[in-house]
Structure formats: C-alpha cells, structure tokens
Amino acid sequence: MLLTDKHREYWRRNLRLTGTLLVIWFAVTFGVVWFARNLAHIIFLGFPLPFWVGAQGALIVYVLLIRHYARHMNELDEEYGVGEDGR
C-alpha cells in the first residue's frame, strides 16, 4: 500500500488522541467508582461527590469527549488532506 509519511503521521496523531481520551474516560468512570466510599463525604453542588459524578458529571464528560474527538478529527482530516470531497 502506498502510504506516505504524512498518512502515517495522521494515523499516529489519531491514535494518540484516541488513547488520551480513553484514559480520561477510564479515570472518570472506574477511578471515581473505585474510591466512591472514600469520596462520599465530599459534598458537591449539594450531592455526595461520587453520586454526582455517576448521575451527571461522568455523563457530561462523555458528551464533551465525543464532541472534542469529532471536532479535532474533522480538523485533522483537512490538515492532512484525507477529508472527503464535496463538503
């Protein structure tokens, strides 16, 4: 396959972004759950912190992660000239 270095760099940057976002996803979900009992006495916005994270915080982070990924990758497509035509 005739991939140029530019193509490989695009894929590496994609992998780096994906990896970083997955680390955040993992920490917000499982990190907070693991320490939930230790964090339960912290009150945030009127909720015990782990409850708030599970019911709202983590969900907001998920939405933002996907939004960031979509924006960033769509820009990267343009930058490396691998975007689709006609848009």
Partner 1 sequence: MPHTFVNRLKKYYSFYTGGFVMFVLALAVAEYMGMPDHWIGWTFMATTVALYAGIGIMSRTADVTEYYVAGRRVPAIYNGMATGADWMSAASFIGMAGTLYAKGYDGLAFVMGWTGGYVLVALLLAPYLRKFGQFTIPDFMGARYGGHTARTIAVVGTILASFTYVTAQIYGVGIITSRFLGIAFEVGVFVGLAGLLLCSVLGGMRAVTWTQVAQYIILIIAYLIPVVFMSYQVTNIPVPQLAYGAVLEKVTEREDAIMADPAQQAAREAFRQRAEQREADIATLQAAGAPPAEVARQRQLQAADTARAQPITHHGEPFPGQTEAERDTARLNFIALTFCLMVGTASLPHVLMRFYTTPSVREARESVFWSLFFIFLLYFTAPAYAVFAKYEVYTNLIGTSIIELPGWVASWAKLGLVSVEDINADGILQLAELSLNPDVIVLATPEIAGLPYVVAGLVAAGGLAAALSTADGLLLTIANALSHDVYYKMIDQGASTNRRIAVSKGLLLLVALIAAYVASLKPDTILSMVAWAFSIAAACFFPALVLGIFWKRATKEGAIAGMLVGLGLTLYYLIGVKFMGMPRWFGISDVSAGIFGIPAGFVTTLLVSLLTPPPDEATQNLVESVRYPSLKSIPKA
CB of 56 to partner 1, least distance (A): 5
The binder of partner 1 chosen from 18, 23, 42, 79 (CB under 8 A): 18
Indicate the burial class of 53 (C-beta count within 10 angstroms; 0-12, 13-18, 19 or more). buried
Angle at alpha carbon of residue 78, lines to 75 and 82, rounded to 5°: 120
18 with 77: CB under 8 angstroms? no
CB of 38 to partner 1, least distance (A): 9
Residues 37-76 that bind partner 1 (CB under 8 A): 37, 40, 45-48, 50-52, 54-56, 58-60, 62-63, 65-67, 69-70, 73-74
